[in-house]
Every structure is written in C-alpha cells, then in structure tokens.
Chain A
Amino acid sequence: MFKNKSVRILAIAPLSRGLGYAVMEGSNNLVASGNKVILRDKNAKALAWVNRFIQFYQPDVLVLPNVTAADTRRAARIKTLHRKIVAWAGKKKVKVRLVSVTQVRTRLLGEPKGTKFAVAKTLAEKFPVELGKRLPPKRRPWMSEDPRMDIFDAVGLAVAFWPKNK
C-alpha cells in the first residue's frame, strides 16, 4: 500500500451506462469526480475516455474495481473493458490497483455488508462540498439506479485505496 501522501490516483468504475471517475491527491483531497454516460459503442468510447483522463490527470496509480473477486458479478462486456483498461494502463506505465466491493464497504462502513446507498451517504458526509449535492435519493424497488451513483462508486474505490489510518 502507498504510504506517500503525494500520490495522485485515478479511480475508474466501469458500469453499464458508462463510467464514473474520481481523482484524489492524498486520502482527503478529492480533486475531481464525475461520470460519463456512454450510449453506443461503449467499450471503445469508455477506453477513449480513460485514455483522456490518464493524459489529463497523469495519475501515479489507476484504481479499478476487482471484477474477478468472489463478491462481484459483472457483465462480460465490462470484464472485457476492464481487461482492456488494465492493458492500456500497462502500456502507459501507470500502476494498477484492484479494490473489491467488500474492501470498499469494510473501509467506509466498518463491516463487509451494506448497501450502495449507505456507502454513498458516508462519502457525501466525508466530502460534503464535492459530493453533498450529488447524492441521489434512496432507490426504491420500482426505480432504476440513478446515474449519479457511478460517481460514488468511483469515489468509494478511490477512498478505499488509501490505508485507514491516513
């Protein structure tokens, strides 16, 4: 694990609608976060966005979700995209770290079980200025997932990357 606070990380959460991204410098400094909705030719466009982010933010470490972990289910397309992003980061000589959903929950909620909304709420409390207004309403059974949850997925990965004592 990185102990140096002066490390810039880029967390990417590839999801069904596109991708969420977060850039952090140290464990408490969220530089940028957002989501990109991609409708057609998703993998190619998502890869282009990742390339753009890497060139723009020049991260030391790229943080991705661990799609092969036992606690994770992902579509075949996203797994393919994940492999492509890892390969692309290798070409660009950016270190890649994988963080599982359980690690995110353990880091933010203190226990391995919990809902995405609970994680998002914790993050909104941790970064009230950056994320406070972006917290979507709690999802009801008849509702689709809010696109803004992509942001919280990415920020969750970024926060879980850092050791807890920092």
Chain B
Amino acid sequence: MKSLSNYLQSQRKRLSLSQEEVGFLLGIRGMNKSAKVCRDEKFAREPSLLDALAYEVIYGRPIRELFAGLYEQAGQDVAARAKFLSFRKLRKPDVRKQETIIQLAAKAGVNSSNQCSKTNLFVF
C-alpha cells in the first residue's frame, strides 16, 4: 500500500480543530484562512518547510508521519540517486563515502513501501 500524500485531515479531525483555526495557528492572514489548509489537505499544494514544521507542532506528530506519502517518495528518489552514485567510479576510493551511500540506499529501502521491493530498487 502506498501511503497517502499527507494525513493532515485525519490529524486535524483527531484534535477537533477547524480548518480556519489551523489556518490561524499557521499564521495565515486574510479572510479565508481555511482555503490554504484545505488545499494542503486535498494534496493540491505542498506546504512550505515552515508550514510543515508548524503542522508538526500543532498536531504533535513528526513530519514523516504527517506527510507519509511525500516521505516515501523522497526515500525512493534518494535511494535511486544513491544507487546511481554507487556506480560512479572514484579516482580515490573512499570506504566511508561508499558505506554512507550504501547505507543511505538501504535505509531508504527499508522505509519505502512494498512497491519498492517489487522493483528491487534497493537491492545491491
């Protein structure tokens, strides 16, 4: 199962907050504070880093849980790039760098969904 892009709506409902209240807590100015929150919840917009951190403070959950789908996507992308990087020939072989790249790819592989294991993207 691929995670949803974010779980902002379910977390907001868990705390019985309205979109307008969350918009106020995020520091959104203007008449319709709820519009921005609504767009975040409906995956129409990816919030800025500052907003994402604010969401973490409001809902008391880490960003990787709140934006699970995005986190998985980032993990897959990083792993794919790490794999690419591991194939690169270095003039001076650096063991620590090599280990870091392999660990990064493996770590991202553990956190990603079943879809990744199907493609064997992280198997070295």
Which residue numbers of A lie inside 8 Å of B, CB to CB? 4, 6-8, 25, 30-32, 56-58, 60, 129-130, 133
Q: Is the CB of B1 within 8 A of A60?
A: yes
Pick the contact of A57: B4, B16, B113 (CB < 8 A).
Answer: B4
Pick the contact of B10: A31, A56, A60 (CB < 8 A).
Answer: A31
Q: Is the CB of B16 within 8 A of A6?
A: no
Chain A's closest residue to B43 (CB) is A56
Chain A's closest residue to B69 (CB) is A58
Q: Is the CB of B13 within 8 A of A6?
A: no
Which residue numbers of B lie inside 8 Å of A, CB to CB? 1-2, 4, 7, 9-10, 13-14, 16, 42-43, 113-114
Known interface pairs A57-B4, A60-B1, A130-B13; 8 further A-B residue pairs with C-beta atoms within 8 A, sorted by A's residue number: A6-B113, A6-B114, A30-B10, A31-B7, A32-B9, A58-B2, A58-B4, A133-B16
Q: Is the CB of A6 within 8 A of B10?
A: no
A to B CB contacts below 8 Å, 24 in the list: A4-B1, A6-B1, A6-B113, A6-B114, A7-B1, A8-B1, A8-B4, A25-B1, A30-B10, A31-B4, A31-B7, A31-B10, A32-B9, A32-B10, A32-B13, A56-B42, A56-B43, A57-B4, A58-B2, A58-B4, A60-B1, A129-B14, A130-B13, A133-B16
Q: Which residues on B sit within 8 Å (CB–CB) of A60?
A: 1
Chain B's closest residue to A7 (CB) is B1
Q: How far is the CA of A6 from the CA of B10 in the complex (A)?
A: 17
